[in-house]
Amino acid sequence: MANKFSRKQFLQQSAKTTLAVSLTSFAGADVLAGCTSAKVLSSVPTVTGFEQTPLPYAYPALEPVIDALTMEIHYSKHASAYAKNAKDAAAAEKVDMSKPIEEVLQSISKYSAKMRNNAGGHYNHELFWKCMQPGGSVPGSGALQKAIVKTFGSIEAFQTQFSDAGKNRFGSGWAWLYADKDKQLKIGSTPNQDNPLMDISEIKGTPLLGLDVWEHAYYLKYQNRRADYVTAWWKVVNWDFVSARFDAL
C-alpha cells in the first residue's frame, strides 16, 4: 500500500508541472517542443552535451503508443534529473563539460557511481527521444536496412530479437541495436542506465537504437505489461534517424 500511495502522490505532483518550451536549433534542424506537429531531425548529432535538449515533438505526439502524461513525467522529471545530476557529478569530479559526454562514458570506470548512473541516464534519454517520431516510419532500402537483413535474416527477425532483449531484461534497463568496432550490427541489453559506450559494459559499440524498459517509461498506460509496450513501441520508431546514425559511422 505504501508504494501505491507514494506513486499516486508522485503522479499527482508531476501532473501539475508544466515544462516551459522554446524554439531551438539542434544539429541544423529547427525543433519546436510543444507544437502539435514535429519536424523530423534532418541530421544526426555526433556528440551529446551535458544540457538537456528540448523534445523534438509535443508530449501527446506519440499517442496512443506513449501517453502525454507519461512523456511529460519521463522528460521533465526523470530525464531532467539525470541531466542535472550528471552536471553536478561533472563539477565535483572536475570534468570539462564543454567536451562531449561520450568521452566520459567511454572511460566511465574512472568516475563515481553517481557519474555512471546519471551521465548514462542523460545520454540514453537524449538518444531515446530522437529514436522516435509521431507515426513512426518504416525501414527503407538504405544501408542499415540491408545490414539488418544480412545480419538477422529479415526486418521481422530483427524486431523479434530486439523485442526479446527488452522484454527479458531483468529489472530496469535498456535494449540496444548497436554497431561494434567493425561496424557489425549487434543486439543486446544493459542494466540500469548503462549503455554500449561504457568501458564497463558487457556489450560494447556505438548505440544506434535504444529502448527504455524502465517501469517509468510505460507504467501509467501499460502497468506491468512490458511486452505490450515493447510491441507497440515499433509504431513510433524513427528509422530515418537510426539509419542516419548508421551511415555516419
pLDDT of residue 140: 74
Q: Which residue has the cell 535494449?
A: 175
> Grid coordinates standing for 93?
569530479
Contact of 101 with 119, CB cutoff 8 Å: yes
User: What's the structural domain count of the chain?
Assistant: 2
pLDDT 10s digits, 23-39: 232 332 333 333 322 33
Pair (116, 220) in one structural domain: no
Residues of the chain short of pLDDT 50, as ranges, are 1-44
In angstroms, what is the C-alpha Rg of the chain? 17
pLDDT of residue 205: 97
Pair (114, 213) in one structural domain: no
pLDDT of residue 228: 98
Pair (28, 126) in one structural domain: yes
Q: What angle do CA 39, 43, 44 make, to 5 degrees?
A: 115
pLDDT of residue 111: 98
Whole-angstrom distance, CA of residue 45 vs CA of residue 104: 17
pLDDT of residue 45: 52
The CATH number of whichever domain residue 111 belongs to comes to 1.10.287.990
**Structural domain that includes position 234:** 143-247
pLDDT of residue 93: 98
pLDDT 10s digits, 118-137: 999 999 999 999 999 999 99
CB neighbours of residue 226 within 10 Å:
19
100 closest CA partner among 45, 140, 56: 45
Whole-angstrom distance, CA of residue 202 vs CA of residue 41: 31
